Amino acid sequence: DAMVIQNPRYQVTQFGKPVTLSCSQTLNHNVMYWYQQKSSQAPKLLFHYYDKDFNNEADTPDNFQSRRPNTSFCFLDIRSPGLGDAAMYLCATSRPPEETQYFGPGTRLLVL
Amino acid sequence: QKEVEQNSGPLSVPEGAIASLNCTYSDRGSQSFFWYRQYSGKSPELIMFIYSNGDKEDGRFTAQLNKASQYVSLLIRDSQPSDSATYLCAVNEGNDYKLSFGAGTTVTVRA
């Protein structure tokens, strides 16, 4: 089945220790998104790629970076995680002109 | 991102009843509207989308859209315990393929 896969599902890191979360998709979708979701809050868009074009949200901290080496993979790098970065990180994809976004299972990040 | 407002709930309904969820949005130019279901600790999954004013039915779910009032709702008929989840309303912002999400309404279906 075509799907969006995220690894790892759970990640524990130390304060200030860089961490990388990965997302892959077999849907062949052009657009890949990274969201941060904290408990009882709306998913917050961090950035998205349309093919190779990177689009950063204005309020996304510089601590968050992303890479998309090819159509299938996208990575979220958190350079120096703080306690406030503990959250669920969601990867989603879409294929314009369709607007529906399909989510991966998420990675729950814990910062100690 | 534009504002999307939902009643946070929790909304508690007995099994078999109708659950009614509301969502309002700020951007009058919004054209596409989505409802996602999110179980605790899981990722959002699409229930349905609606583009045109009026009602759209899919099984036990009905989405209702009123663009003049900037209002979209979701009705869940014959609610089941498995419908207990948080329901996220999402609105397309225009032509840049981004969605603005509400914080969600938590529904609990009592057996």
Is the pLDDT score of B83 beyond 80? yes
Is the pLDDT score of A46 beyond 90? yes
Mean pLDDT of chain A: 95
Name the least confident of A85-94, A101-110, B6-15: B6-15
Q: Is B26 on the interface with A (CB under 8 A)?
A: no
Give the separation between CA A61 and CA A64, rounded to whole angstroms. 6
Query: What is the model's pLDDT at position A98?
Result: 85
**Closest alpha carbon to A96 in B54, B63, B97:** B97
- Annotate chain B with three-state secondary structure: CCCEEECCCCEEEECCCCEEEEEEECCCCCCCEEEEEECCCCCCEEEEEECCCEEEEECCEEEEEECCCCEEEEEECCCCHHHCEEEEEEEECCCCCCEEECCCEEEEEEC
Classify A83 as helix, strand or coil: helix
Peptide bond into B10 cis (omega under 30): yes
Query: pLDDT above 90 covers what percent of chain B?
Result: 83
pLDDT tens digits, A59-95: 999 999 999 999 999 999 999 999 999 999 999 999 9
Query: What is the model's pLDDT at position B6?
Result: 95
pLDDT (mean) for B66-75:
96
**Closest alpha carbon to B71 in B37, B24, B105:** B24
Q: Which residues of A touch B102 (CB under 8 A)?
A: 42
Q: Is B48 on the interface with A (CB under 8 A)?
A: no
Q: Is B95 on the interface with A (CB under 8 A)?
A: no
**Closest alpha carbon to A69 in A106, A32, A27:** A32
pLDDT (mean) for B46-64:
96
Is the pLDDT score of B86 beyond 90? yes
Q: Which residues of B touch A43 (CB under 8 A)?
A: 44, 88, 101
pLDDT tens digits, B23-43: 999 988 888 999 999 999 999
Peptide bond into A97 cis (omega under 30): yes
Residue A28 phi/psi, 5° resolution? 60, 40
Query: What is the model's pLDDT at position B95?
Result: 66
Query: What is the model's pLDDT at position B107?
Result: 97
Q: Is B98 on the interface with A (CB under 8 A)?
A: yes
**Closest alpha carbon to B22 in B66, B85, B57, B60:** B66
Contact A42 B102 (CB under 8 A): yes
Peptide bond into A8 cis (omega under 30): yes
Name the least confident of A11-15, B6-10, B14-18, B86-90: B6-10
- The partner residue sitting opposite A94, judged by closest CB among B44, B97, B101, is B97
Give the separation between CA A91 and CA A66, rounded to whole angstroms. 12
Contact B101 A42 (CB under 8 A): yes
